[in-house]
Structure 1
Amino acid sequence: MITKSAVAFLLILASSAFAEIVQWQACPTSPNAPLNCTVHEVRVDPCKEADQGKPCKIKRGIDASISFDFTPNFDATTAESRAYWVSPLMDLPFVGMETDACKATQCPIVKAQKKSYTMHLPIAKSFPIRAYDVKWKLWNDKEQDCCFIFQIKLTK
């Protein structure tokens, strides 16, 4: 008998298999800060625009999927993860997102062991139509993190 969580997990895996590899950049850090993580690849579904290097066009009111492969330079028995809208004044947390990273990647997180992270992200119809820089962070209780930024464009 297949449980609901097993079905949800299989759907996440299937959608990430069809996701497009997007351009991303590392989050800014101070010059002497140690590298806490290597992000290898970021995938977003839907993102037909990825092969052209353009922001992913995502319709409001649907779920998007994000997945990324990373190798941490830290350990974590538990971890948190959150997406933020990047703005000049301050980064605004994405509302309605599950922040327990262990639901999207296998925990514990082990230093130097490559991992994959996959999550569905609900895009509310109330979000304003415009282009956004999205900052994605995954961190442990010592504030050691993986962090990258990519672009999306919300549409009707």
Structure 2
Amino acid sequence: MSTSNGLFGLILIGFATTTLAVFKDCGSKEATVTKVLCNGQDSGPCQLKKGTDASLEIDFTSKTSQSQLTSVVHGILSGVPVPFSPTDTNACNGIVEKCPIAPNNNYSFKTSLPVKSIYPSLRLVVRWEIQDPSSTDVICIELPAEIVS
């Protein structure tokens, strides 16, 4: 177990939060997010079933050209972002249309998020950022989630 995944799991133990809207844009600077699906659903908290991989799809319209993009993921615990390592940090691998991306074009980013069996059942917020090489948020979304058995 990596240090960040272990820390994420341990901090989850004492956390609970209220349900939020479907998704919140938390500072997308270089794209407009048009749709977010978690496990194919666009309503309610994202159900993260222990021992499975949750699917995430983010549809967006790019405002800039990009050839390198990185996924940065946090669990928001009591208002504090805790780093979490996604399966693949190269966000270009998840863009269906592939990189490079160009301004005024529509794209779909698809990925999965492993939900370990050791995680406690609780509610949290997942922050998913897709950043350019200068660490600017091309996309930043916050998604209410619930870890379930």
Do both proteins adopt the same fold according to a TM-score greater than 0.5, normalized to the shorter chain?
Answer: yes
Is 1:151 the counterpart of 2:144? The answer is yes
The answer for unaligned runs of 5 or more in structure 2 is 1-20
User: Once the 2 structures are TM-superposed, how far is the Cα of residue 89 of structure 1 from its aligned partner?
Assistant: 5.6
- TM-score for both structures, normalised by structure 1: 0.71
Supply the distance in 2 between the matched residues of 1:89 and 1:55 (Cα, whole angstroms).
17
Residue type of the alignment partner of 1:107 = C
The total of aligned residue pairs comes to 126
**Aligned partner of 2:38 among 41, 44, 52:** 44
The structure with the greater share of residues assigned to strand is 2
Q: Deviations over 1:35-76 (max 9, x none)?
A: 4220000011165xx5xx421222110111000101122221
Is 1:67 the counterpart of 2:67? The answer is no
Query: Mapping of 1:1-156 within 5 angstroms?
Result: 23-27=22-26, 29=27, 35-45=29-39, 47=41, 50=42, 53-88=43-78, 90-105=80-95, 106-145=98-137, 146-156=139-149
SS of match in other structure, 2:110: strand
User: Once the 2 structures are TM-superposed, how far is the Cα of residue 150 of structure 1 from its aligned partner?
Assistant: 0.9
SS of match in other structure, 1:135: strand
The answer for unaligned runs of 5 or more in structure 1 is 1-21
Give the 4+ runs in structure 1 shifted more than 4 A: none
C-alpha RMSD of matched pairs (Å): 2.1
Of structures 1 and 2, the one scoring higher in RCO (CA 8 A, sep 6+) is: 2
Q: Deviations over 1:79-127 (max 9, x none)?
A: 1012210134631122353100011011012122211000122111122
Larger-gyration structure (1/2): 1
- TM-score for both structures, normalised by structure 2: 0.75
Identity %: 25
